[in-house]
Amino acid sequence: MRRTVAVVAMAIAVAVFIGGCGVQADRNPKTVAPANVPYGLLEGAPSTTGPGRPPVRTVPTTPVFVYFVRAGRVQATVRHVTAPVTVQKTLAELLIGPAEAEAAEGVRTAINPAAGVQAKRLDAATFLIDLSPEFAQGPTSEQVLGLAQIVFTATEVPGVTGVRFTLDGAPVEVPTPSGTLTSDPLTRDAFADLGPLPPDVLAPA
């Protein structure tokens, strides 16, 4: 009980002291000159990279070409992957599809958005690309364009010249632009008719 009385008495004394000093709360905000602002209130937030803090490290990336479709042909588009460049990383960027700005310019992908791919090296120059079942859905013409996208993208990786395909882990014959089916490794030559158009053809009128 005595402690409570003492606390109340102290609170009253502080209130009287403040009132005697003439300190009153303003009902409206007022502009205060910088010279009158208490020390430290105008200082900015502490830097996240100041003394004693480790520097922010960025992961190095490398530009690569992935191939989308425009005007019925494949077209190279720059993407960035973490070093070192691999076929799997490059194909992963391909599966993301074109950016919104690219799509507005008529760039698209013929690969089913639900499709997945896995890459495995067969030898120094050839990769095995396993396609998920979703890839085989849709018109054959779209599958051919999708295969061209994969072959051109995979062979952008230095040293890779050919691609063999499987479907859901099983050997498969894939369609080519000539209308034939093959299980042989495919190079860019097999899709020469779907290769990139010259820049002057792609330029807007």
CA dihedral 86, 91, 93, 99 (to 10 degrees): 150
Q: How far apart are the first and last CA of the chain?
A: 91
CB count within 10 Å of CB 57 equals: 6
What residues of the chain score a pLDDT lower than 50?
Answer: 1-23, 25, 39-48, 201-205
pLDDT at position 85: 95
Query: What is the maximal distance between C-alpha atoms in the chain?
Result: 101
Beta strands (DSSP E) in 35-192 are 61-70, 73-82, 117-121, 126-131, 162-167, 170-171, 174-175, 181-182
Q: CA 86, CA 121: separation in Å to the nearest integer? A: 10
pLDDT at position 197: 79
Two tokens, residue 99: 């950016």
pLDDT at position 101: 96
CB 84 within 8 A of CB 205: no
